[in-house]
Amino acid sequence: MEPITVFSSRTVLLPRADIDTDQIIPARFLTTTSREGLGNALFADWRYDSDGESNAEFVLNQPESAGAEVLVAGRNFGCGSSREHAPWALADYGFRAVISTEIADIFRSNSLKNGLLPIVVSAAFHEQLLSVPCGVEVNLETRTVRVTDGPHAEASEAFEIDDFSRYCLMRGTDQLGFLLDRVPAISAFETQRSDPTPQ
């Protein structure tokens, strides 16, 4: 996982609200046993037509979207299933941040574990971001997003992220190590309570 501190990128805009995980990556791509290479399946039903040809109208297929690392999406992005394949696909494609006014709980939690920064912004700032693709600087150190060019240049906003997730993202470390360090406390917890086990 690549650490995130400060990075700049163009934005890609997907203004639709309620983009669900079945759109981010359709179920037929979930039969994999690996987490690699899922970028090809990202938004598959929008990116490709029924013959598998690239759909020139879809924003990711337009030349100005190439290399963009920040996706600005409509309200309630990532609703639906718990499939971590959704952030895997976004991260594998090259996205490092998703910005919306609201991001679904499980998707948000999964993103934070995969070097994909979920950023919730105000409706007013969101509207500016959705008006036209632009350059943005994402700064996890100061927890801010700043527009660097275009009609809203220098507009910026602070976003919230809990300290622990921020710490992990900035170091590119995962959270399993933290839990493994708590094993003595877990063992103590298990011995002091007695309840029936499932099987």
Partner 1 sequence: MSQTLFEKVWASHVVVPETADTPTVLYIDLHLIHEVTSPQAFTVLRERGLTVRRVDRTLATMDHSTPTTPVRKLADIDVVGPSAAAQIRQMQKNCAEFGIPLRGFDSDERGIVHIIGPELGATQPGKTIVCGDSHTSTHGAFGALAFGIGTTEVGHVLATQCLLQRRPKTMAVEVSGALPEGVTAKDLILAIIGQTGVDGGTGHVIEYRGDAVRALDMAGRMTVCNMSIEAGARAGMMAPDDTTFEYLAGRKLAPQGTEFEAAVSRWRGLVTDAGATFDKTVHIDASTLSPMVTFGTNPGMVVGIDAPLPAAPGDGSWDRALEYMQLEAGKPIAGTPVDVVFVGSCTNARLPDLEATARVLEGRRVAEGVRMLVVPGSQAVKAEAEARGLHRIFEAAGAEWRESGCSMCLGMNGDTVAAGKLAVSTSNRNFEGRQGVGARTVLASPATAAASAVAGRIADARQLAH
Q: CB-side exposure of 75: number of CA atoms within 13 Å?
A: 4
Cβ–Cβ < 8 Å for 22, 44: no
Instruction: Give the 3-state DSSP-derived string for 58-84, with helices as H, strands as E and coil as C.
Output: CHHHCHHHCCCCEEEECCCECECCCCC
**Applying CB under 8 A, which part among 2-10, 124-132, 147-155, 183-191 lies near partner 1?**
183-191
Smallest gap from residue 56 Cβ to partner 1 (A): 19
β pairing state of 6-14 and 135-139: antiparallel
For residues 67 and 191, which CB has a smaller minimum distance to partner 1 in the complex?
Answer: 191
For residues 146 and 166, which CB has a smaller minimum distance to partner 1 in the complex?
Answer: 166
Among 7, 10, 30, 58, binds partner 1 (CB under 8 A): 30
How many residues belong to the site for partner 1 (CB under 8 A)? Answer: 55
Smallest gap from residue 8 Cβ to partner 1 (A): 28
For position 122 contacting partner 1 by CB under 8 A, the verdict is: no
State the Cα–Cα distance between residues 67 and 65, nearest whole angstrom: 6
State the Cα–Cα distance between residues 21 and 27, nearest whole angstrom: 9
Q: Which residues pair with 14 in a beta bridge?
A: 73
Chain residues binding partner 1 by CB under 8 A are 16-18, 20, 22-23, 26-28, 30-35, 45, 50, 75-76, 79-84, 87, 102, 104-106, 109-110, 113-114, 162-164, 167, 174-176, 178-180, 182-183, 185-186, 189-190, 195-199
